[in-house]
Amino acid sequence: MSAAPVRTLDGGTATLGEAEIRRFARRLSGELLLPGTDGYEGARRIWNGMIDKRPGLILRCRSAADVAAGVDLAREHGLALAVRAGGHNVAGNALSDGGLVLDLREMDGVEVDPDRSAVRIGAGATLGQVDRAAYPFGLATPMGVVTATGYAGLTLHGGAGWQLRRRGLAADNVSSFELVGADGELRRADPEENPDLFWALRGGGGNFGVVTSFTSRLHPIPREVTLAVPLFSLEEAPAVLGFLRDHMPAAPEELMVIAVLWTAPEEPRVPAQWQGQPVLFVLGCYTGEEHRAREAIEPLRSCRPVVADLTGRSSWLDAQRFFDADYPDGRRYYWKSTMVSGLTDPLIGAMVEQARQRPSLLSSIDIWALGGAFGRVGADDTAFGEREAPFMVNYESNWEDPGEDPANIRWTRECLAATQALAGGGRTYLNFAGFGEEGEGLVRGSFGRNYERLRQVKARHDPENLFRSNFNIAPAARPGRAAPVSARAQGSPSRKRSRSLRKLSEQM
């Protein structure tokens, strides 16, 4: 290994000497990658083809001790630090250009405890790994709808999926977190231990430490579920969306609906004249008792004449995989979102017209029905904040050609601005926040009245803002506070961490 120049938090460069890098690498159970070493090029690639960053160092962590060593290195040298978990990271925050990246993808263990209806999920695990571990027991935890998504990134900013109306967000179902703080120490966050962190991590993102594992509640899930997939023409779309606006508030909570203005697939059940044409999908996943499924989904299929209907019964695992093929590695992705106060006729009309004007037929406008269990959680109960909005609108721009970047980004931004103007503003769901280019205004607006409380938690746990490669919450000013004490000045950090690791593993 040679000396490594690594970008610092202030935008400068710290050069780590060859001897220091070798000493550091000997402490690790994981692997340290530098530019030019075997595996580096693959390790720096990310799912979103728009992201092209070259970290100065990549640490492939295999344990919480590796994570702590990486945090120590970043703190002691003032290195720009990013954390990569197991999934997509559409915004690209998981890589630090020139800085240090903690890659947690090998920390992907999933341990199911069916007797306690609990699952312990490593920070590198994907939704598919969690589902495959829990499904044999007839159990599932609320998550997202694409199985290659990383559980950690999804959950730290909320986590919306097919169980949203019945069980709430993924974050609502976490009972404890294990994380490495800015001081390099491993700690637990739950309602009794570090309750401020427990509150902040349920929606506040990666601002407060490196979460190494989650313990989450499991719920019974049917072996098979009904997935309604009627397709409507754009001419029928205003009437269908108006129907959903009126129907969903009283619909059973076991029914989750996502209406998608998208493109009809080349699929035998879709008439040839409609394949490749813009249409409205009404996707309804019913996770309740089978004998009630038909009654729950029939209104979705019969509210207006359809051009095709792909409705059917499937295993829960197959329902979770429904969207997978549409989000391959390497495609170009730019997504934005907003909560809306209602689906007014002018807003519906605008979205239908936006669907006609998509520069890429791969792009979609997704309208998520909210309410139910999601809506019953108080705005102050988790960092996620206010939940009164009945719908969320996501603009998912997906395309292949780099030359089409400007047109697709412009379409997304213009559509979002028009929708927010018609809907009276609206907060962003930070899992769909583009590149966060709006800065503090985006973050402050997303958390609303919880923002200042989050800044106080940040000031307690990361006063120097080491964890800033994210949708960043700047720590509140604390006049006269002393500089944080190095973990090495507090005795033997290795012995402390060993005790902490044993304690936490025994509590699962």
Decide if pLDDT at 482 tops 60: no
Decide if pLDDT at 492 tops 50: no
The model's pLDDT over 378-419, given as tens digits with 9 standing for 90+, comes to: 999 999 999 999 999 999 999 999 999 999 999 999 999 999
| Same domain as 426, residue 471 | no
Reading the block at residue 265, the tokens are 């697939």
Last residue of a domain, one of 73, 103, 133: 103
| Same domain as 206, residue 275 | no
Phi, psi of 40 (to 5 degrees): -65, -45
Query: 506 Cβ partners below 8 Å, 6+ apart?
Result: none
Tokens 């090495």 correspond to: 488
32 and 24 Cβ atoms separated by less than 8 Å: yes
Stretch among 232-241, 331-340, 418-427, 499-508 having the lowest mean pLDDT? 499-508
User: 123: domain CATH number?
Assistant: 3.30.465.10
Distance CA 471, CA 465 (A): 12
What ranges make up the beta strands (E) of 190-297?
Answer: 210-217, 219-220, 224-228, 230-233, 255-263, 278-286
| Same domain as 208, residue 95 | no
Last residue of a domain, one of 445, 464, 487: 445
Residue-averaged pLDDT of the chain: 93
Which of 314 and 496 is assigned the larger pLDDT?
314
Smallest Cα–Cα separation from 58: which of 36, 34, 93?
34
Over range 241-251, report the average pLDDT.
Answer: 97
* Confidence tier at 315 by pLDDT (50, 70, 90): very high
189 and 460 Cβ atoms separated by less than 8 Å: no
| Same domain as 123, residue 50 | no
* Confidence tier at 487 by pLDDT (50, 70, 90): very low
Over range 66-87, report the average pLDDT.
Answer: 96
Which of 199 and 505 is assigned the larger pLDDT?
199
| Same domain as 498, residue 406 | no
| Same domain as 134, residue 283 | no
Query: Counting beta carbons within 10 angstroms of the beta carbon of residue 10, is it exposed (0 to 12), middle (13 to 18) or buried (19 or more)?
Result: exposed
142 and 172 Cβ atoms separated by less than 8 Å: yes
64 and 497 Cβ atoms separated by less than 8 Å: yes
pLDDT, residue 89, reads: 86
| Same domain as 281, residue 136 | no
Over range 89-105, report the average pLDDT.
Answer: 95
pLDDT, residue 479, reads: 65
* Confidence tier at 495 by pLDDT (50, 70, 90): very low
Containing structural domain, residue 133: 110-220+449-506
| Same domain as 173, residue 241 | no
Q: 10 Å Cβ neighbour count for 86?
A: 29
pLDDT, residue 87, reads: 84
404 and 359 Cβ atoms separated by less than 8 Å: yes
Strand partners, 179: 187, 211
pLDDT, residue 491, reads: 33
Decide if pLDDT at 345 tops 60: yes
pLDDT, residue 506, reads: 38
Over range 283-311, report the average pLDDT.
Answer: 97
Over range 211-233, report the average pLDDT.
Answer: 97
pLDDT, residue 496, reads: 37
The model's pLDDT over 105-161, given as tens digits with 9 standing for 90+, comes to: 999 999 999 999 999 999 999 999 999 999 999 999 999 999 999 999 999 999 999
pTM of the model: 0.92
| Same domain as 417, residue 303 | yes
Triad 37, 58, 483: Cα angle to 5° = 140
Distance CA 125, CA 153 (A): 10
| Same domain as 228, residue 332 | yes
Q: Is the dihedral of CA 33, 28, 23, 467 positive or negative?
A: positive
| Same domain as 293, residue 340 | yes
pLDDT, residue 488, reads: 30
Last residue of a domain, one of 68, 83, 103: 103
| Same domain as 192, residue 156 | yes
